[in-house]
Amino acid sequence: MSLFSVPEVIARVEGRTGRLTLNRPKALHSLTTAMCQALTCALLAWREDPAIDLVLIDHAGERGFCAGGDIRAMAEHGAHDPKAGGEFFLHEYRMNDLLQRYPKPVAAVMDGVTMGGGVGLSAYATYRIATERTLLAMPETGIGLFPDIGAGWLLARLPGEIGTWMALTGARLKAADGLYLNLCTHHVPSDRLERMKAALLANPHEARRILARFHEDPGLAPLSGKQSALDAVFGHDTVEAIVAALHLGSSWAREQAAILQTKSPTSMKVALREVRGGREQPTFGAEMLLEYRLACRIISTHDFQEGVRAVVIDKDNAPRWSPARLEDVSPTALDALFAPFTDQEEWTPLN
């Protein structure tokens, strides 16, 4: 049975499972406002439905789970219609908040690219299933944005300073590291996914046992040996101090410094302040309120417009950031991005 569907989201009930399939493969299932609304409508309908035991989120095709929000559309909104951009973030963040406090088990199949908004669709699920093709990342500093979808809350609660490292560098993790950080709960080889899904659909109340049966050890997590080095360098209070420490470190540390040289200075400073502040947020909803302020403002900035031009439109991968240096990003400019709204409504969760 199909319901609440738009062409890019197929929502239906199969037995006692509510199934949501992202269906925008040519765009790596990048999220739009209509997709977020369709996902939310289905989640709300199934939340209190006694006939639904499990929600399963997957995707059509093999190119990836979800690459995030549609940043080309965000940039167009930021340049010409910021109100429409705000509407996207309102619905996306309400969906993230709904998933974070959802009362029923949710299983997300993170096969392939799982970045940005894709992390928001999976990170708050009960079961987070990776494959050998999974690439997990929050790459926003490379496009002049910032890690959102509750990342300030999520990354701040990872071990040590790994969340800071992920937020600043946009590091891409595979399944072993995802399991190490509990961003994934299971690793299932991609050639077994269809059998796994069939088993879940047949017995959704047995999801934990079924996933344990399909799980395979992905091997040692590369991050497991880097914890102390990450904490020592990324524990500094400013991005400038982090970069300076990296230049004095190992070859791996110098590689991280080179990566940071390519990121938006403003975005990195926003990300560091966001993650450090996320440790003190009293609730997930409070974090979403803050990120909504940041998102509504930052999509109209030079760096986001330039980042999308360089990565998505012209694809020269040579953004010209402004300010171009970390030391030229003023505290006043950062304060303005984080400040409460005076000219529009604040973000609110769904009732």
- Enzyme catalytic residues: 69, 117, 140, 148
Angstrom distance (rounded) from CA 114 to CA 102: 21
Decide: residue 123, CB within 10 A, 0-12 exposed, 13-18 middle, 19+ buried. buried
Secondary structure (DSSP) of 164-209? HHHHHH---B-HHHHHHTTS-SEE--GGGHHHHHHHHHH-GGGHHH
E strand or H helix at 253 = helix 251-260
Task: Look up tokens 């190490």; give the residue.
Answer: 180
Q: Which residues contact 52 (CB under 8 A, 6 or more apart)?
A: 13, 16, 17, 18, 46, 104
What are the DSSP E strand ranges found in 248-348? none
Rounded to whole angstroms, what are the CA distances from 323 to 101, 148, 163, 169, 214? Answer: 39, 22, 25, 18, 49
